[in-house]
Amino acid sequence: MFVILLLGGWTGCKQEVDVTAPEAVFTLQSPLPVTDTVCGSLEPGVFRMTSGDTLALDITFRDDEGLAQYKVDIHSNFDCHGHANKTEDWSYLAIEPLSGQEQAVQVRLPVPATVTAGAYHFQIQVLDLAGNTNPDLGFFSILVQNGADTLAPAIDLSSPTGSSLTLARGSALELEGTVSDNADLGSGGNGKLTLFYRDESSGNSFEALSEAFPAGTGGTYPFTLSFVVPQTLIPGAYTFTLRAFDGVNNPSAPHRIAVQVTP
């Protein structure tokens, strides 16, 4: 949270109120942001990085009256991730002072060598002396890979064989198959198999099952999952999504099954 600076005291003179938000110009972005898919949607400002890389930014902040401070914030945007015990979720927060009407700064943000792979949010904000800020100034996503393992696991789903089902409330969705990966699925602390379902009428999503890969699992994991459709579900269309995450949090391609729930 920004610390708003209160300047001066009460005077008998009427003063103009500063309502103009400060601005920023990026004079260097390395690597350059690209359009990429984040959480299933295309975003225009995405940095692709690998552990050991450094995100380098040169920024010139400007304001018509006076600058106060800027904030840099990086935090994870994982899809139902588990906190790792052998990888490091990239997190950074800094609030730095600014002065005058224009100031150039350099921001250098190294990716942790043992970073947890996945999507991160990256935001830069600037505040002027009157407390004005620009919420649309700099909001990006970062897609990070761990250089020790850049290959995602794969799911071979043997049952069900179709992509759509009809299930009554109280009946079970049965899933069988094998997860395979180039590395030990149980190493790194993030490995797991997840099942989510989305209510297509409301757009709300819920976790159905989550099964962690035990340490020493190796590169293959046969699985049998059973999810009983809750009696509380409103009959209608649902999409179930099965996904695997390896030890450094690389996600597999999703398996989606359209389910029509009946009373």
DSSP assignment string, 54-89: EEEEEEEEE-SS-EEEEEEEEEE--SS----SSSB-
- Residues whose CB falls within 8 Å of the CB of residue 232, separated by 6 or more in sequence, listed in order: none
Give the pLDDT band of residue 204 (cuts 50, 70, 90).
very high
**Equal fold, 23-145 vs 154-262:** yes
Over pLDDT 70: what percentage of the chain? 91
Distance CA 4, CA 116 (A): 34
pLDDT at 6: 37
* Whether the predicted pLDDT of 5 surpasses 90: no
* Whether the predicted pLDDT of 117 surpasses 90: yes
* Whether the predicted pLDDT of 139 surpasses 60: yes
Of how many residues is the chain composed? 263
CATH architecture of 23-145: Sandwich (2.60)
Rg (CA), the chain: 24
Q: Give domain limits for the chain.
A: 23-145, 154-262
Instruction: Indicate the CATH number of 154-262 among 3.40.190.290, 2.60.40.770, 3.40.80.10, 1.20.1250.20.
Output: 2.60.40.770
* Whether the predicted pLDDT of 91 surpasses 80: yes
pLDDT at 187: 84
Angle at 7 between CA 4 and CA 12, to 5 degrees: 135
pLDDT at 17: 86
Least Cα distance to 208 among 170, 244, 238, 240 occurs for 240
Mean pLDDT (whole number) for 214-231: 94
* Whether the predicted pLDDT of 116 surpasses 70: yes
* Whether the predicted pLDDT of 154 surpasses 50: yes
Least Cα distance to 248 among 129, 133, 144 occurs for 144
Distance CA 36, CA 141 (A): 9
Average pLDDT, the chain: 88
pLDDT at 10: 37
